[in-house]
A and B are shown apart, each in its own frame.
Chain A
Amino acid sequence: MSLRILIVAEERSAYFLTRRLVAAGHEVVVIHETETVCRSLARRLKATIIHGEATDPRVLEDAGAGSADAVMALTPVDARNLAICQQARLRFQVPRALAVANDPDNEEVFRKLGAEIAFSPTRVLATLVEQRASFADITNLIPVADGRVHLTEVKLSPAAPVIGRQLKDAGLPTGAVVAYLLRDDQPLVPHGKTELLAGDRLMLVTLPGNHAPALEALTARTPGG
């Protein structure tokens, strides 16, 4: 389905986003307040470029907001992004409005105040970094027997999917074995009915073929992904 999308963003984001949306068959209108930027975008894009301040309802009208399917407000100024979305939604009844919240606290605020979708690149980046960092709960990856067997220590976070389950119900693939576990610094040889608890450190023995599915069963994460 081809959509008619209004974009308000800095030159570079406007360019790359529009290029992609146009390639996907959408009709794009870019609004920018600087004339030189508009000329440059017009040369490089198969899109309608409107010169003006997008929070001004007259400019939105010129840009055809009345017939737009969506508006995307991606500028570095939160108050501007909110104003764009509100004008588009409340005055022109644009069905979808997406705003960037530069301050992560404003994500919630924007959703409350009428940007249908609000997201904070800062929060997205922070989450990515945290996810990466929490891979540290999978450590000591040692290939033994010429790399045919892996020894991995996995620390179970409170969010791990196997917490409270018995080891036999943890969904480990055949051939993946928990050799022992450390609970409160006490080593313990688990059996099928051992209940897994948050904070347990499992010494996992795997083969190359079942290494990734075993880690995924324990942590719900795909290693390296």
Chain B
Amino acid sequence: MSSRNGHLVVVVGCGRLGALLASRLSLRGMEVVVIDHHEGAFEDLSPDFSGFRVAGDATELAVPRKARVGDASAVIVTTRDDNTNMMVAQVAKQVLGVRQAVARVFDPAREAIYHGLDIETVCPTTLAADVALERLSVSLAATREETR
């Protein structure tokens, strides 16, 4: 398989987030490989998804190798388990040499040590809190305006 526009992205975890990301990346014309240890998870991919599916445990080195993580320009790790996400992202970066590794981390307390490790993290908890606070402050400001 050759890249359609030179960009191969590997998405690890085909849950709601993983399936959405993989489907969108594929729609944008990127070559996508998605890994999940449950074959049934691939059913959540959009019908237009034209990438590859690899069934297997991504913490087993042989699995990301098979998914050509070493050739990818980015790996996004989205499973439900913080430990798995951190491990897979680090292996992709430090062992398999991917250019960019992004991991979903739920617990903000665990995020800190990984910043020194050349891994990018996305914390849904912090993001949701930030957005909620922003909305709240907007509506609070509006209420204040009204009551003035």
Task: Name the segment of A102-110, A122-130, A172-180 touching the other chain.
Answer: A102-110
**Do A112 and B109 touch (CB < 8 A)?**
no
Contact for B83 among A58, A77, A112, CB less than 8 A? A77
A78 nearest CB neighbor, chain B only: B59
Encoded as 1 (CB less than 8 Å from any B CB) or 0, chain A from 86 to 121 comes to 110011000000000001011011001100000000
Q: How many A-B pairs fall under 8 Å by CB?
A: 58
Please give the distance in Å from A170's CB to the nearest CB on chain B: 42
Encoded as 1 (CB less than 8 Å from any B CB) or 0, chain A from 39 to 83 comes to 000000000000000011110000000000000000001111011
How long is the Cα–Cα vector from A77 to B91 in the complex, in angstroms? 15
Known A-B contacts A79-B83, A79-B86; A103 and B60 likewise in contact (beta carbons under 8 Å): yes
Residues in A with CB closer than 8 Å to B84 are: 79
Is B116 interfacial (CB 8 A cutoff)?
yes
Residues in A with CB closer than 8 Å to B62 are: 105
Is B95 interfacial (CB 8 A cutoff)?
yes
Q: How large is the interface on B (under 10, 10 to 19, 20 to 34, 35 or more residues)?
A: 20 to 34
How long is the Cα–Cα vector from A58 to B59 in the complex, in angstroms? 25
**Do A105 and B61 touch (CB < 8 A)?**
yes
**Do A57 and B110 touch (CB < 8 A)?**
yes
**Do B59 and A79 touch (CB < 8 A)?**
yes
How long is the Cα–Cα vector from A103 to B107 in the complex, in angstroms? 26
Residues in B with CB closer than 8 Å to A56 are: 107, 109-110
Residues in A with CB closer than 8 Å to B60 are: 103, 105-106
A92 nearest CB neighbor, chain B only: B113
Within 8 A of A (CB), among B93-116: 94-95, 107, 109-110, 112-113, 116
Is B82 interfacial (CB 8 A cutoff)?
yes
Please give the distance in Å from B51's CB to the nearest CB on chain A: 24
Chain A: interface residue total (CB-CB under 8 A): 21
Known A-B contacts A90-B116, A103-B59, A103-B60; A113 and B90 likewise in contact (beta carbons under 8 Å): yes
Please give the distance in Å from B58's CB to the nearest CB on chain A: 9
Is B123 interfacial (CB 8 A cutoff)?
no
Of listed A55, A79, A109, residue having the most chain B CB within 10 A: A79
**Do A83 and B82 touch (CB < 8 A)?**
yes
Encoded as 1 (CB less than 8 Å from any A CB) or 0, chain B from 50 to 73 comes to 000000000111100000000000
Residues in A with CB closer than 8 Å to B91 are: 109, 113
**Do B87 and A87 touch (CB < 8 A)?**
no
**Chain A interfacial positions (CB closer than 8 Å to B):** 55-58, 77-80, 82-83, 86-87, 90-91, 103, 105-106, 108-109, 112-113
**Chain B interfacial positions (CB closer than 8 Å to A):** 59-62, 81-84, 86-88, 90-91, 94-95, 107, 109-110, 112-113, 116
> Could you name 6 residue pairs across A and B whose Cβ atoms are closer than 8 Å?
A79-B83, A82-B86, A83-B83, A90-B113, A109-B95, A113-B87
Q: Known contacts A56-B107, A103-B59, A109-B91; can you find 20 more A-B pairs with CB under 8 A?
A: A55-B110, A56-B110, A57-B109, A58-B109, A78-B59, A79-B59, A79-B81, A79-B83, A79-B84, A79-B86, A79-B88, A82-B90, A83-B86, A86-B113, A87-B110, A87-B113, A91-B112, A103-B60, A112-B94, A113-B87
